[in-house]
């Protein structure tokens, strides 16, 4: 009887591991708090680690002690296991989805051609830096942040 329970436990854990392997790899390499400083202008961005098919992010930018913009973000794995979505809510309004699409660039790239601006959100690492970029779908009007770990 003990052998049968052991085999059932092994089969169940194998099925769970197989299900986890089908999920897209969330960009856990973004986890942590990051900052960019340029004179008295600053931007901070923090991301939780990947857990339960989700990462949570927050960002704020400003000058001196004033905050000009803040944003709540999420990256959520698709329940089907075949993709993920970046959700952005600047200043807490208009929660907008951007779908991940595999491409030849490093990092992760998310798209929403229906959005006025940005239509593309991209993150990647260059050594110790986290690079974030927003742009139109064709790459025009790009704005880039080079973050150092805070």
Residue 54 lies in a domain: yes
Residue 30 lies in a domain: yes
Q: How many domains would you assign to the chain? A: 1
Query: Per residue in 51-87, pLDDT tens?
Result: 999 999 999 999 999 999 999 999 999 988 789 999 9
Identify which has the larger pLDDT, 65 or 105: 65
* Per-residue model confidence (pLDDT) at position 25: 86
Residue 4 lies in a domain: no
Domain CATH number, residue 111: 2.40.128.20
The closest alpha carbon to 100, from 88, 112, 109, belongs to 109
Residue 10 lies in a domain: no
Are 98 and 111 a contacting pair, CB within 8 Å?
A: yes
* Domain encompassing residue 49: 25-149
Residue 12 lies in a domain: no
Residue 3 lies in a domain: no
What does the chain come to in residues?
A: 150
Pairing of strands 66-77, 54-63: antiparallel
Residue 65 lies in a domain: yes
* Per-residue model confidence (pLDDT) at position 90: 96
Contacts of residue 47, defined as CB under 8 A and 6 or more positions apart, other chains included, come to 30, 31, 32, 34, 55, 56, 57, 73
| Residue 142 pLDDT exceeds 60 | yes
Percent of the chain, pLDDT > 70?
A: 84
Residue 82 lies in a domain: yes
| Residue 16 pLDDT exceeds 60 | no
- Both tokens of 26, joined, read 């969330």
Is this prediction's pTM over 0.75? yes
Q: H helices within the chain, ranges in order?
A: 2-22
**Mean pLDDT in residue range 88-94:** 95
* Per-residue model confidence (pLDDT) at position 80: 84
Percent of the chain, pLDDT > 90?
A: 78
């Amino acid at each position: 009887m003990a052998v049968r329970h052991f085999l059932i436990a092994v089969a169940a854990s194998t099925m769970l591991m197989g299900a986890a392997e089908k999920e897209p790899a969330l960009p856990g390499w973004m986890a942590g708090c990051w900052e960019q400083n340029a004179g008295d202008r600053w931007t901070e961005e923090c991301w939780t680690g990947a857990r339960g098919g989700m990462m949570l992010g927050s960002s704020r930018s400003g000058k001196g002690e004033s905050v000009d913009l803040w944003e709540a973000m999420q990256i959520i794995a698709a329940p089907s296991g075949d993709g993920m979505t970046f959700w952005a809510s600047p200043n807490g309004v208009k929660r907008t989805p951007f779908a991940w699409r595999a491409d030849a660039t490093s990092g992760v790239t998310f798209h929403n051609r229906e959005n006025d601006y940005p239509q593309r959100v991209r993150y990647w690492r260059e050594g110790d830096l986290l690079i974030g970029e927003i742009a139109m779908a064709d790459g025009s009007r790009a704005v880039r942040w080079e973050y150092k770990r805070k």
